[in-house]
Structure 1
Amino acid sequence: MADLAASLLAEASWSGMLAAPTGRTWTISLPAGTPLLNANQRLHHAPKAKLTAAIREEARKATEEARVPALRCAHIFGIFCPPTKRRRDVGNLYPSFKAAIDGAVDAGMLPDDSDDYLLGPDMRIGETIRGGQLHLLVIELDPTGAAG
């Protein structure tokens, strides 16, 4: 996970943006094996809402455990570490990443998850982990563009 985070930071480009990275980062990790939402699922609204709430709550707790302070602006990479090496379309996990970001906002990480405060999530596949695991790599941005 650390190698992937370092390579994402190295390849990310904020040129031309109105915000610049400050150099502060955090990793929010949901527990391995947390059931996730997939855009290809056709769930009834009640089970979908229950699963969304569970992911959101796990992310809220994980954000507090990671001691992410209140930020003004951030870039988030969503990293899914799958349970197997089979081919995947990480974009299908967008509903899970959205619920996790909502949980991080609930924990006070950002004022809101609108484009005014958040760049991303940029989704990637990480290394294989038993049970699968979702991570959010949070990169603080300076909205004045003065950092970095």
Structure 2
Amino acid sequence: MAQKTKKVLQQSGVIPYRVQNGATEVLLITTRNQQNWVVPKGGVVNGMSAPDSAAKEAWEEAGVIGQVNPNQIGTYEYQKNGKTYTVQMYLLPVEVESDKYPEVGQRVRRWVNVNEAVRQVKKSSLKRILKKFVSQAPSNGL
């Protein structure tokens, strides 16, 4: 029997950040079941670029708005329900934070220091991208 080629589903996400009193902070959100800390991500919408789609996810999942940096900071893969996903990650300097957004009742959000964000995130591939961000954090001239 011929083996089926696995389709890799494309997603994009952002690391929402801000600089407060000279320190860079990252906005983490929980998964819908509130078990793990993550950053906003989702499927790339047909007709939208990956950065624009990531900005849409940031609004829906975390209630934040900003201009996504179009330069990808990294990618990671994960498996869920037998499917493989590749996530293109971008940086989002947060300009607006709203208390009313589509998934407000489904997730918890929390601003944390960039190093704390690395400790809080469980997925090693996402940790790697956060560590890269720490090395280039805005207080270092990003």
Normalised to the residue count of structure 1, the TM-score between the two structures is: 0.26
Relative contact order (alpha carbons < 8 A, sep ≥ 6): 1 or 2 greater? 1
Normalised to the residue count of structure 2, the TM-score between the two structures is: 0.27
Higher helix share: 1
